[in-house]
Structure 1
Amino acid sequence: MHSKDVTALSRRALIAAGLAALAGPALGAPARRVALLGDSIASGYGLPASQALPARLQAELARMGVPAKVIGAGRSGDTTAGGAARVDRAVPKDVELCVVALGGNDLLTGTDPSQVQANLDRIVRRLKARGVKVVLAGVQVPPILGGGYARAFNGAFAKVAKAHGVLFLPDMLSGISLNPNLNQPDGIHPNAQGVAVIARRLAPLVARGLSAR
């Protein structure tokens, strides 16, 4: 082999090594552990796992350059009371951030807003006591219903978020509820397109929470 060939090979090797050094930390960055505490929407009701919210949120975070493992802690039919009762065992110990996405079933059953607020407060307190960051994802009474109950119910989420200073998405189902194009045939559970919308809304807040000191 001529000296010119050796020099060329050495140059290419150095370039390749430099590129590998630059890419290595990004490719090998450890995934952040995120939990999704919720109800049937969080558990992926009616959808394959690849299209359920945990997977879609994880993919959306990856698209933003945030390597994360999103752990589904959803239970169909769960309420804020149910979430408060199981938060300690449902959210793994090594989780860095938890998205709390409960309240839809409370709304469907007309639960007293003061009880919803108390349950959410307990969930957030338990998570923060463990050093887990929180993103609170609320649900809102559809505007067509309105009234005093709607104001009290909607306000429960905002009050908890403000009291604890956590990141807050006021209505994760805004524009999705009652939209046949974004819901499954039952008219209640988001379809794959609806879940993708929720994931896009949550991902920036989760990324922001993970980057906070």
Structure 2
Amino acid sequence: MALVYCTAACSASSDEAAPSPVESAEAPATPAALAADTRLVMAFGDSLYAGYGVKQDESFPAQLEKALSAKGLKVSVRNAGVSGDTTAAGLQRLAFALDGLPRKPDLVILGLGGNDMLRGISPDQTRSNLDAMLKELQKRDIEVVLTGMIAAPNLGQDYAGQFNPIFSTLAQQYDAELYPFFLDGVITDPKLMLPDGIHPNPQGIARVVNQISDMVAAELKD
């Protein structure tokens, strides 16, 4: 990985290093009405999904919804991102987030693990938590796109060797579509990142959406 990622990882222990401007609830108190012909997607992750440091209409779920609509899909992408979440926190709230939706989603985009890595949490624990979440989604017969993360170089080769394969292994095990690295082509370009070096700015989020939207659209059209 590029030095910028090492710098980012060394500069903060987690997304909780600064107050989050977005407090994305796991589920709305009163689920918004949804037309029968609208595809429902839940983006379930941490600050990279929640929209840390950007306006809500610039967040990953918001920009993804616009991109999918431009492809001719009638879709609602619900933001279930919570800044600072580890995989353990995500596992605790997953069922509540799903039950708070107006109906079973057609797709869940799952993106957790970055905070585990920044905190140096055991990859075995990260794998176990993600496995449990994917098992819950499989039990509910919900399709999944899994977005992966890559360990920062300063954590060493041993940690990376255990952490990095988690996402591809679980995607194969649960027959989930895999987008290997959420910040691919973004974190190495300072023009696409916020000053903290960890989170993408609106232009960086647009790059991510441009790269992943075809995969998501294909899943919704199946």
The answer, yes or no, to whether TM exceeds 0.5 is yes
Tell me if 1:130 matches 2:140.
yes
Question: 1:11 is matched with which residue?
Answer: none
Identify if the C-alpha distance between structure 1 residues 178 and 144 changes in structure 2 by more than 3 Å, giving closer, same or farther: farther
Write the deviation string for residues 80-132 of structure 1: whole angstroms up to 9, x where unpaired: 11111111111324311000011111111011111111111111111121121
Length-normalised TM-score, structure 2:
0.78
Tell me if 1:162 matches 2:169.
no
How many residue pairs were aligned?
A: 185
Task: Give 1:206 deviation, angstroms.
Answer: 1.3
Of residues 62, 71, 86, the one that matches 1:55 is 62
Q: Please give the alpha-carbon distance, in whole angstroms, between the structure 1 residues aligned to 2:161 and 2:171.
A: 16
Equivalent positions of 1:2-151 (< 5 A) are 30-91=37-98, 92=101, 93-142=103-152, 147-151=157-161
Q: Which runs of 5+ in 2 are unaligned?
A: 1-34
Give the counterpart letter for 1:67 in structure 2. Answer: K
Q: Please give the alpha-carbon distance, in whole angstroms, between the structure 1 residues aligned to 2:82 and 2:131.
A: 19
Give the counterpart letter for 1:30 in structure 2. Answer: D
Of residues 155, 175, 183, the one that matches 1:173 is 183
Question: 1:16 is matched with which residue?
Answer: none
Length-normalised TM-score, structure 1:
0.81
Write the deviation string for residues 19-68 of structure 1: whole angstroms up to 9, x where unpaired: xxxxxxxxx98220000000011111111111111110001111222221
Please give the root-mean-square deviation of Cα atoms over the aligned residues, in Å. 1.8
Alignment check: 8 A CA contact 1:141 1:153 kept: yes
Give the counterpart letter for 1:169 in structure 2. Answer: Y
Q: Once the two structures are aligned, what percentage of the paired residues are identical?
A: 39
Higher helix share: 1
Question: 2:30 is matched with which residue?
Answer: none
Give the counterpart letter for 1:83 in structure 2. Answer: G
| Higher Cα Rg, which structure | 1
Of residues 164, 180, 189, the one that matches 2:199 is 189
Give the counterpart letter for 1:76 in structure 2. Answer: S
Identify if the C-alpha distance between structure 1 residues 71 and 137 changes in structure 2 by more than 3 Å, giving closer, same or farther: same
Task: Give 1:175 deviation, angstroms.
Answer: 2.3
SS in 1 for 2:199: coil
Give the counterpart letter for 2:53 in structure 1. Answer: G
Task: Give 1:201 deviation, angstroms.
Answer: 2.3
Q: Which runs of 5+ in 1 are unaligned?
A: 1-27
Q: Please give the alpha-carbon distance, in whole angstroms, between the structure 1 residues aligned to 2:70 and 2:152.
A: 31
Q: Which has the higher contact order (CA 8 A, sep 6+)?
A: 2
Task: Give 1:142 deviation, angstroms.
Answer: 4.2
Give the counterpart letter for 1:100 in structure 2. Answer: L
Q: Please give the alpha-carbon distance, in whole angstroms, between the structure 1 residues aligned to 2:199 and 2:168.
A: 23
